[in-house]
Structure formats: C-alpha cells, structure tokens
Chains A and B, each alone.
Chain A
Amino acid sequence: MIPESFSFPGHPGGTQEMNARAGSWVAGALATTLIVFGCTQGKKATVASGIAWNQAYDATLTDAGTHHRPILLDFYTDW
C-alpha cells in the first residue's frame, strides 16, 4: 500500500518526493482508530480533534500494561 505522502529527514529540499504521490489525506484517521483501540490513560494533552493523547512514552507503557491494551504510538515532528 502506497502512502499518500511521507517525509523524512535529509530530503533534498523539498517536497517533490513527498508529494510524488500525494493527494489529499484524511486527518481523522487516527481519531477513527480510537474505535479500534480505545484510549490509554496517563499524562494527556487534548488536541482539537478531541483525542486525549498521552505525551509520555513511559506513562503510555504503564497504562497499556495495566489495562492489557495495545499501544498506538504516533511519532511526529513540528517541521
């Protein structure tokens, strides 16, 4: 399955590769995935979409172990 778009460090400058196959993407994908996962508890930050995200890996791991739930870990950057 080919991603709609993707970026990684060290790219020439640009967006060319990132957009090579880019189209619009659905920002709500992760939100919808809550249906699959449910939330783990811990240090949380509420974002516009209403998802309560943990922002600490250790707390997430502890919660997952306590509730016997899998973890969805979203790595992002600000740039």
Chain B
Amino acid sequence: MAKLNAEVDTTTAKRYRVLGYPTIMVLDEHGKEIDRVVGYYRAPQFISQVEDYLAGRNTLASMVAEEPAKKDSADFVYRLGDRFADHGLFDDSRTRFQKFVTMDPKNTTGHVDDALYRLARMARKDKDYATDRKYAQTILDRYPDSDMMKPAFLEVGIALKKDGQLAKARTIFVDYAKRFPDDEDAPWAREQADTLALKIKQSPGA
C-alpha cells in the first residue's frame, strides 16, 4: 500500500490520470491499473469495490465488455459514463452521458441532473463555454429541485466569466449570494462578484 501526495508526486499522478481526490488505485503487481475508486465511500462499499476489482468484477474493462448486451439500460449507460469520467476518459464518458440523457427524459433514474452537470464540466474543460452554460442551464430549467441546482447555478456564472461576459457573470454571482445568503458557497460567490466588479470597472464593456 502506498499513500502519495498527488501535488508532490505529479509524475505518478499524471501517469495514472488522477483527476480528483481521493483516488485509490488498485494495481496489479506490475503497476498496471486494474481499476480505481474515486471519492469517499463507507467502508463496506469501499471494500466490496476493491474485492470486486481484484476478482475482475465491475471493472471498467468488464463493463465495456458488457456494453453491447446492456446498451439499452439507462442505468448501465450512466454508470459506464461515470466510470469513464473517473478514469479521465472524457470522450468516452461524454458519449455515454449524452446517450443517457436522451434515454431517460423523465429522469426516472434520478441521475440526469448529475449527467448534465458532468457534461457541463467536461465542456468547461474543453473551453466550450457556450455548451458548458447550456448544460448547466438545462439543470436549472428542468430540475430546479435537484441537489445539482446550486452547482449548476454557479457553473453558469463560471462559464460566463470564462467566456469574457463579465457583467453577466457578475449578475449571476450576485444573484446566487442573494438567493442563498447562508449557503457555504455564498462567500465565494460574493468574492467573485466583487472581483468582477473591479475588472468591469477597469475594462468597461466587458
């Protein structure tokens, strides 16, 4: 077992495409990835996942092999998209999430909002801020009661800011802080609004 600070051992972190923390890699004795656990889980779930991986069950490779037989299962397609994203394989992830969103228009799985948010984040990563905003706005429009609503709200502001639409971005952050004054991200939203106000003052027209 090894515990590596990914900000220090950046070479190893890059080698395994580590994108978030914690990421627990399960490797064979030669260092080849069997699979990974991304995020915090309760102990029984975590152990179950690791045991599955060591037995060759529920790995990304095994899921890819299952895909032809399960391609019509929305839940499976979502989980596959999620797994690809965990592995940093965003093109593969995007196609599954896009397919999933069309497969479950009524959000019977309860994951469409999550998929849309993941799609927004992938668009941001690609610097496609219009698409980023589109996906985030879709969450706000279709799933206002979702637990992804607040992240989506902020994502709209971030996309506008990244796209150079500073005044509009500021409006979003101000609105967020007003609507959710006690929210844990409200101070950050206010800070963004203040910073943008200064930038707008320095370069009118932005």
Seen from chain A, the residues whose Cβ lies within 8 Å of a Cβ on chain B are 1, 3-9, 12-17, 19-22, 25-26, 28-30, 32-37, 39-40, 42, 45, 47, 51, 53-57, 59-61, 64-65, 67-79
Contacts and interface: CB of A to CB of B under 8 A. Distances in A.
* Dominant secondary structure of chain B at its interface with chain A: mixed
Given A1-B41, A14-B185, A16-B183, A29 B3 contact: no
B26 A12 contact: no
Interface stretch (B11-19, B59-67, B90-98): B11-19
Nearest to B29: A64
B20 A15 contact: no
Question: Chain B, interface size: which category?
Answer: 35 or more
Given A74-B4, A77-B6, 19 more contacts: A6-B21, A6-B38, A6-B39, A16-B150, A21-B147, A26-B42, A33-B47, A35-B47, A36-B54, A40-B1, A65-B29, A65-B30, A70-B27, A71-B31, A72-B26, A73-B26, A75-B6, A76-B4, A76-B21
Interface in B35-83: 38-43, 45-47, 49-51, 54
A4 B155 CA distance: 21
Interface of B: 1-7, 9, 12-13, 16, 18-31, 34, 38-43, 45-47, 49-51, 54, 117, 147-148, 150-151, 154-155, 158, 183-185, 188-189, 191-192
B82 to A, nearest CB: 9
